[in-house]
Amino acid sequence: MSTRPKYLDKNLSAEERAKDLVSHMTLEEKAAQLKYDAPAIERLNIPFYNWWNEALHGVARGGTATVFPQAIALAAMFDDEFLKKIADVIATEGRAKYNMQRENEDRDIYKGITFWSPNINIFRDPRWGRGHETYGEDPYLTARLGVAFVKGLQGDGEYLKAAACAKHFAVHSGPEGERHHFNAEVSDKDLWETFLPAFEALVKEAKVESVMGAYNAVRGEPCCGNKTLLIDILREKWGFKGHVVSDCWAIRDFHTNYMVTKTPAESAALAIKSGCDLNCGNTYLHLLQAHKEGLVTEEEITKSCERLMTTRIKLGMFDECEYDKISYLENDSKEHHEIALMAARKSVVLLKNDGILPLDKNKIKTIAVIGPNANSREILKANYCGTASKYITLLEGIQNSVSEETRVLYSEGCHLFKDRVEPLALPNDRISEAKAIARLSDVVILCLGLDANLEGEEGDTGNSYAAGDKLDLNLPGLQQMLLEEIIKIGKPVILLLSSGSALAIDYAHEHCNAILQTWYPGALGGQAVAELLFGKYSPSGKLPITFYSQKNKLPDFSDYSMKNRTYRYIEEEPLYPFGYGLTYGKVELSNLKVDKVQIRENDIITISVDVENQSDWELEEVIQVYAKVTGTEYEVLNHKLCAFKRIKLEKAEKRTVSLELKAENIKVVDYHGNRIFDGDKVILFVGTSQPDKRSKALTGQEVCQIELPLLK
């Protein structure tokens, strides 16, 4: 009488079941499972599975799905609770599509439920092309948003709703053109203060199922074969239990670029012995040869296979699962569109407003909408995106929002980056049209910036001259000229700046009446932006990155020292600071209190502050807490974000808002990378922006502050 295999026993742990399942495989079968396109093992009822799928801001590259704003825009919401809800929606759509595709025996790439998201690298340099995939420049904000995204994606059920992946581990943020041979030299302080905290939080707190290694090397060791990162830190120090996947074809770089190995077999052996379980690429086709040469043991192959099968079991792939009944009708639904629309509204940042906004659609007779991004779908999608069933561009959103009596005139103005729109025309072939409609209009809405073809991933972008990175922070092509020519006409100008990164727009700040940073706002972004322009809602986003001035001198791109980088270490005054963003109203903070008279190392401090909406607008605001520890040489140069909360305020509402601050978040990192409770006191700043001079000048508001001694 046959007994039921242990790997089908749901009473056992996923790890126990995986160990038993793998014990029935041959060496050849185990080795084959370590490649991203893992073959079927029919005698064990294991179907083919392609591990490669993406969910950066919606289920990507696998057909129709809700397209949310790009990750950098989601970060601008400063709303971890809402981001968790968005991630849950993405997981629902991922399951809906997976269930449908499985029924149709479609197991192609981008159709699984192992999502290689989120990207939690630190956006340390505004030239990096992939910065818009991240949650910005701050380790604390990135950690809180990353934890929320992973928890939303993976769910809290009996099984994982989807498997998230923290990438790219570690010290990875350009240059893109050098990533296959670049060695990041980083101090212990910068490593543990800036580049590792978000990964640690996702591993320890969010229990992220997967971690992806980076292309670059750190201190001479390629990340996907880096024992220090993948074994010493990730598994032994942090206790990571999931699986590690290589970035795509990164292991090949070991012998073709880094020259730390001589053959593909040696590269495969180095990666697997260093803790990389799954190969996105094909170098693990040489694992059997590596085993034959004595470079890797069967036990090491077995261990990686067990980790991968554990993930598949945790996802319910071999059982009836609570998520099996999610219908395809739950994908791309009206409800999910509304959530994406809400995210776009929350993410747009009002950088300047001289009072022209919001526009009164009943008083404006003619609007000129000008610019290469005005009617662009590319800026809605960003990179790593799905296919939306409906798009609303900036132009379409404006056209749909004005009164019937209002005339909307449109001109492309110029190409996004070339010197002409039509190939056979003379340079600057749209300028006369743009100037003509500007003269005929009451107000000009100028739509400039970038798209994901100008900033993106090496090999995944048309920006071949810079491999996806920006050469500088200027508007590309003829856009600056277009801006200046339109300004000269003398009509009120509102700039809609669409980009995934900071641009140095000093001239625009000086001459435009209002500026909105729209990011890449998702498929329905044009509607959200129009709703903000015409006052249906008030803008409420905050910058998750610093916008540098043209006067600021950027450090060398390849220098990974944090000196003079990001708001924590900047030595000059920027154009727009991290955490900055205006609304249509005014919020006053007062009566700051804490429930401690001194702080101990393991304390949780409750902060309360009275918040008053001194306007007749319904507003959302972000209360931000920054810390500056004194009496220690290890504190950041300026100050650091340590708590935040997005709140909603009714017209003229006044109430007390409470936030929790962990003493852990005010610790400093010494030169050896140790996080320590050091110093004599901490100054806490609480406001709707940073406590820097530039934020005060832009907002006209002071932040509240309080000093507390540290008790050791």
Kindly write down the DSSP assignment for every residue of 631-666, as one continuous string: S-TTS-SS-EEEEEEEEEE-TT-EEEEEEEEEGGGG
- Mean pLDDT value across residues 318-327: 96
Domain ranges for the chain, please list them.
Answer: 17-329, 340-551, 587-709
Which of 451, 455, 603, 635 is the catalytic position? 455
Active site residue 635: no
Which of 247, 332, 429, 451 is the catalytic position? 247
Angle (CA) 539 545 551, round 5°:
110
Is residue 238 pLDDT above 90, yes or no? yes
Q: Using one digit for the tens of pLDDT, what is the confidence trace for 508-546?
A: 999 999 999 999 999 999 999 999 999 999 999 999 999
> What share of the chain has pLDDT > 70, as a percent?
99
Beta strand ranges found along 653-703 (DSSP E): 654-662, 668-669, 675-676, 681-687
Helical pair 298-314 and 264-273, crossing angle rounded to 10 deg: 60
| 4 C-beta neighbours (distance < 10 Å), count | 7
Active site residue 455: yes
The DSSP H or E segment spanning 514 is strand 514-517
Sole residue written with tokens 């992939």: 130
- pTM for the full predicted model: 0.97
The confidence score (pLDDT) of residue 462 equals 55
The confidence score (pLDDT) of residue 464 equals 47
Is residue 137 pLDDT above 70, yes or no? yes
The tokens describing 373, both together, are 């991004």
For the chain, give the mean pLDDT. Answer: 97
3-state DSSP assignment of residue 217: strand
**Beta bridge mates, 387:** 64
Q: Which CATH architecture has domain 17-329?
A: Alpha-Beta Barrel (3.20)
Kindly write down the DSSP assignment for every residue of 399-419, as one continuous string: HHHS-TT-EEEEE--S-SSSS
CB 620 within 8 A of CB 540: yes
Q: Which fold has domain 340-551?
A: Rossmann fold (3.40.50)
| 246 C-beta neighbours (distance < 10 Å), count | 27
Domain 17-329 shares a fold with domain 340-551: no
- Mean pLDDT value across residues 640-668: 98
The confidence score (pLDDT) of residue 463 equals 55
Is residue 1 pLDDT above 60, yes or no? no
Q: Using one digit for the tens of pLDDT, what is the confidence trace for 439-465?
A: 999 999 999 999 999 999 987 655 545
> What share of the chain has pLDDT > 90, as a percent?
97
- Mean pLDDT value across residues 271-285: 98
CATH number listed for the domain at residues 587-709: 2.60.40.10
Is residue 704 pLDDT above 80, yes or no? yes
* CB contact burial 163-177 (16+ within 10 A = b; e otherwise): bbbbbbbbbbbbbbb
CB 278 within 8 A of CB 36: yes
- Mean pLDDT value across residues 148-160: 98
Sole residue written with tokens 């100028």: 446
The confidence score (pLDDT) of residue 459 equals 72
Is residue 675 pLDDT above 80, yes or no? yes
The tokens describing 263, both together, are 């053959």
Q: What band does 6 get if pLDDT is binned at 50, 70 and 90?
A: confident
- Mean pLDDT value across residues 226-244: 98
